């Protein structure tokens, strides 16, 4: 065989093989480049997803901090409310104890008052006429003192808001002519049952005398006239001469505790 022909055949075969290898390498290169492109895209997506997750984590941490602060504030408020509740409970207990003590004192004073009234009744029958007035004045003085102490205790009960004082029925009043303002000599501290009498903080030390007439005022308006019947050093019992009451129950005077008493 001719050597040159053999060489040509070999070269031709080599060229064919090289062409096939070239196309194979090119296809493989294209596939690799395509894979690299897809890998880059996937990597970019992962990076973006990672950044999004990181942002969410940061937001969650910030929200967690805010929730913790709110929780701390609510806990502080709860502690403050508990302290206020404990303080109010303590004050309520103290007020209840004060009420109990005051009620016991009122009961004692009421019992002493009843005893004095019984003694007065006994003296009416047992004491000789010449000593009756002196004994009655002493007992009446003590009675008025007890009445004043009883009034002070009830007033203190009303100040703490726990006393259950009996409300009195109010009646419609008719206008009265205004009276010139004067310095009061005392005030009404007690009203007897069914308006039988009034007790006034005006006694001998201030110049009170039996039979003296006083005008009872409220807001510079006359609400009644009274006459002193029994007098002690600090207090007086007065009979109601007239009242401005025009309500349905005319037996109940319009005079109230706290009204001022003026010389007529």
Whether 64 and 119 share a structural domain: yes
Tens digits of residue pLDDT in 242-260: 876 544 344 456 788 999 9
Name the least confident of 66-70, 87-91, 123-127: 123-127
Name the least confident of 1-10, 56-65, 98-107: 1-10
In this structure, is residue 144 part of a structural domain?
yes
**pLDDT class of 176 with cuts at 50, 70, 90:** very low
Give yes or no for a contact between 253 and 240, defined as CB atoms under 8 angstroms apart: yes
Whether 199 and 137 share a structural domain: no
Phi, psi of 176 (to 5 degrees): -120, 160
**Nearest-angstrom CA–CA distance, 110 and 147:** 9
**Nearest-angstrom CA–CA distance, 166 and 256:** 13
Whether 115 and 157 share a structural domain: yes
Name the least confident of 94-98, 146-150, 177-181: 177-181
Whether 102 and 197 share a structural domain: no
Return the pLDDT at 184. 92
Whether 45 and 156 share a structural domain: yes
Whether 79 and 122 share a structural domain: yes
Return the pLDDT at 164. 37
How many structural domains are present in the chain?
A: 2
- Residue 87's Cβ-side half-sphere holds a number of Cα atoms within 13 Å equal to 6
DSSP 164: -
The whole model's pTM is what? 0.36
Whether 154 and 190 share a structural domain: no
Q: Which domain holds residue 250?
A: 186-263
**Nearest-angstrom CA–CA distance, 124 and 136:** 9
In this structure, is residue 203 part of a structural domain?
yes
Which residue, among 137, 165, 160, 168, has the nearest Cα to 150 in the 3D structure?
165
Return the pLDDT at 170. 34
pLDDT over 70 at 221, yes or no: yes
In this structure, is residue 1 part of a structural domain?
no
Domain-terminating residue out of 163, 196, 215: 163
CA angle at residue 155 from 152 to 159, to 5 degrees?
Answer: 135
What CA dihedral angle connects 128, 131, 136 and 137, to 10 degrees? Answer: 170
In this structure, is residue 73 part of a structural domain?
yes
Token pair recorded at residue 175:
């206008």
CATH number of the domain enclosing 249? 2.40.10.340
Name the least confident of 60-64, 125-129, 199-203: 125-129
Give yes or no for a contact between 259 and 198, defined as CB atoms under 8 angstroms apart: no
Return the pLDDT at 72. 87
pLDDT over 50 at 179, yes or no: no
């Amino acid at each position: 065989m001719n050597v040159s022909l053999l060489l040509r055949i070999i070269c031709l075969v080599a060229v064919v093989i090289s062409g096939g290898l070239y196309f194979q390498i090119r296809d493989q290169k294209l596939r690799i480049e395509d894979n690299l492109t897809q890998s880059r895209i996937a990597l970019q997506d992962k990076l973006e997803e990672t950044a999004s997750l990181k942002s969410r984590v940061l937001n969650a941490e910030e929200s967690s901090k805010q929730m913790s602060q709110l929780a701390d504030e609510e806990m502080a408020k709860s502690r403050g409310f508990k302290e206020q509740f404990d303080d109010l409970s303590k004050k309520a207990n103290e007020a209840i104890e004060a009420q109990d003590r005051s009620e016991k004192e009122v009961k004692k004073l009421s019992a002493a008052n009843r005893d004095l009234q019984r003694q007065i009744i006994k003296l009416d029958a047992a004491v000789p006429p010449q000593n009756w007035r002196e004994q009655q004045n002493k007992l009446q003085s003590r009675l008025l003192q007890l009445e004043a102490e009883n009034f002070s205790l009830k007033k203190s009960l009303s100040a703490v808001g726990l006393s259950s004082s009996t409300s009195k029925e109010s009646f419609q009043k008719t206008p009265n002519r205004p009276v010139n303002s004067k310095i009061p000599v005392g005030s009404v501290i007690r009203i007897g049952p069914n308006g039988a009498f009034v007790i006034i903080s005006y006694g001998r030390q201030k110049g009170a005398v039996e039979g003296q007439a006083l005008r009872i005022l409220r807001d510079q308006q006359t609400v009644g006239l009274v006459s002193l019947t029994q007098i002690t050093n600090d207090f007086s019992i007065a009979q109601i001469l007239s009242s401005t009451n025009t309500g349905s129950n005319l037996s109940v005077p319009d005079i109230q505790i706290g009204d001022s008493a003026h010389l007529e």
